[in-house]
Amino acid sequence: MKVAIVGGTGSFGLALAKRLAGAGYDVVVGSRDAARAAEAAAAHGVEGAANADACRGADLVVLATQADAAVETARALREAIGVTPVLSVAAELTFGAEGVVPTPEATSVAARIQEVVDAPVIAGLHSLAARNLGREDPPEEDALVCGDDPEAKAIVLELAERITSGRAIDCGPLPSARALEGLTAVIVNVNKRYKAHAGVRLTGVPREPEP
Ligand SMILES: NC(=O)c1ccc[n+]([C@@H]2O[C@H](COP(=O)([O-])OP(=O)(O)OC[C@H]3O[C@@H](n4cnc5c(N)ncnc54)[C@H](OP(=O)(O)O)[C@@H]3O)[C@@H](O)[C@H]2O)c1
């Protein structure tokens, strides 16, 4: 399974690349600049390429650019992505004196990405901080995932299960992305208030979902 990480030179993309490579995935780190991708990727023993080249030939495209660039980047990569499933990890936040809040857009980043690509879009992993993901041991957290396409969601759930020591949990259809993205603001506020590196664990969830 080949995973392209668009914007993979950032802290989240590189932490994910490292963990996926450790779990046996083929990983290509993408960047707007092929040389930057190659340099960043080499440090983790994976491939690097320009974003569009990374997408071509991948089985899953993770959009891990700066959050406010995710929709326009997806639009620009529409052809290169084709019908390859896309995972959106982006959460748009506004930082203010009172704390961190989600941006006021009516729909999630993931839903807006779905409007500009032909591929099925899944949203997830928002609550896994790059810092926790990049540690030697997998984070002791659950990974929350939502989306409308069952096959694409199954690919992401399997990937998520392999990068945490917690669970990958199916949180329903793509509109749930609004809540998953917003949860990031909650976690950032908790981190600031408690000087923590918080993650999320759901309790009382059976091992398998009901059919
Ligand atoms: N950081 C976390 O702990 C964390 C946790 C969960 C989810 N996320 C999500 O993961 C994504 C990446 O987070 P991050 O902290 O790694 O972000 P970041 O470092 O700010 O940005 C990641 C990469 O985005 C690319 N980029 C920047 N501006 C761009 C633009 N205008 N157009 C296209 N690409 C651009 C850059 O790569 P090149 O310059 O090489 O192209 C950069 O290395 C975000 O959507 C965030 O919401 C982050």
Percent of the chain topping pLDDT 70: 100
**pLDDT digits over 87-99, tens only?**
999 999 999 988 9
The CATH number of the structural domain formed by 2-194 is 3.40.50.720
Confidence bin at 19 (pLDDT 50/70/90): very high
Cβ 152 under 6 angstroms from ligand 1: no
Cβ 7 under 6 angstroms from ligand 1: yes
Distance CA 128, CA 117 (A): 25
The Å distance, Cα 169 to ligand 1 centre, comes to 24
Distance CA 110, CA 88 (A): 6
Q: Within a 10 A sphere around the Cβ of 126, how many other Cβ atoms?
A: 26
Whose CA is closest to atom 35 on ligand 1? 65
Whose CA is closest to atom 6 on ligand 1? 126
What is the dihedral sign for C-alpha 5, 128, 124, 110? Answer: negative
Q: Which of 5, 14, 66 to mutate to test the pocket of ligand 1 (most atoms within 8 A of CB)?
A: 66
Q: Domain limits of the chain?
A: 2-194
Q: Indicate if the pLDDT at residue 210 is higher than 90.
A: no
Cβ 5 under 6 angstroms from ligand 1: no
Ligand 1, atom nearest to 127 Cα: 6
pLDDT score of 207: 85
The pair of three-digit structure tokens given for residue 87, joined into one six-digit string: 């995972």
pLDDT score of 211: 79
- What is the CB-side half-sphere exposure of residue 130 using CA atoms within 13 A? 13
pLDDT score of 74: 98
- CA 194, chain centre distance (Å): 25
**pLDDT digits over 66-85, tens only?**
999 999 999 999 999 999 99
Listed residue (67, 161, 60) closest to 110, CA to CA? 67
C-alpha dist (Å) from residue 142 to 45, 46, 80: 26, 25, 31
Q: Indicate if the pLDDT at residue 100 is higher than 90.
A: yes
pLDDT score of 186: 97
Cβ 108 under 6 angstroms from ligand 1: no
The Å distance, Cα 67 to ligand 1 centre, comes to 6
